A and B are shown apart, each in its own frame.
Chain A
């Protein structure tokens, strides 16, 4: 190996094995942000190279294969590691993106998790709907709003008929935006509590 720091092996086959392993790890880290991904890759790289150096028996290909065998298949431990990193992102102030990936990875773990994911997913959709309606009200003031149907049923959306009575008027925009933000913050809080509870 000419340069351990850059993980360049003199034997092409050793380089191929190394690259394939690292690619697999990287692929499994897909839901992490770049910093978290780089962190995992750097730690594994340091581990593998140290292991490679310690195994002084055999050519590069044999040694890197042995080091990789000792470390284990990426699919056996990287997904767990990724979840742990995502949970770090479940701290207050973390992005909805992280929470979404966490929810997704938990969804198929059981009936409770699945039901929770469905409910929260619906909540996020509602939050998005409030946001869209609030914005659309500015561009289609006559058709978008919170309406009461002739039978007195309230609903929010786009209408093109005269029999509906508008309730909020232009207040829909600020109220819709505030509701969207508050709903999203509440759901983020709920997801953090939920995933932390399940990971304790």
Chain B
């Protein structure tokens, strides 16, 4: 396989992986503390170590709110525009727990494969 093809394959896989873990990461971040869009997206970019178009996260946040795993409230700030703070809901916490358990199973499985 050529180096370019290899890179392309890897990037595709990386992209799929990133998409897959995004909801998990949002829940994990908000489980620690509530955040508003900019801070949440900056934290995601930092954790994922990738340049992503920040705007693409907003539809996802909206979907998570609609599904009932996140809640939000608008807050008026002393200076600057109002901020929309996101919080994890009770259902979101339950989902996060199941995701964590599953992630650990997958991770252990991968570890076993690597050890062979």
Question: A4 CA to B55 CA in the complex, in Å?
Answer: 20
Which residue of A46, A73, A88 contacts B38 across the interface (Cβ within 8 Å)? A46
Residue of A nearest to B84 (CB): A43
- Asked if B55 and A76 make an inter-chain contact with CB atoms under 8 angstroms apart, the answer reads yes
CA distance A22 to B97 in the complex (A): 39
B79 an interface residue at 8 Å Cβ cutoff?
yes
State whether A76 and B53 are in contact (beta carbons under 8 Å apart), knowing that A46-B36, A47-B37 are contacts in the complex.
yes
* Interface residue stretch chosen among B1-9, B57-65, B102-110: B57-65
- Which among A44, A47, A50, A72 has the highest number of chain B CB atoms within 10 Å? A47
Check if B81 sits within 8 Å of A77, measured CB to CB.
Answer: no
Query: In the complex, which residues of chain A have a beta carbon less than 8 angstroms from the beta carbon of B74?
Result: 42
Given contacts A4-B79, A44-B55, 8 further A-B contacts (CB under 8 A): A5-B81, A40-B58, A42-B81, A50-B38, A72-B54, A76-B53, A84-B62, A88-B66
A interface residues (Cβ-Cβ under 8 A, vs B): 4-5, 7, 40, 42-47, 49-51, 70-74, 76-78, 80-81, 83-85, 87-88, 199
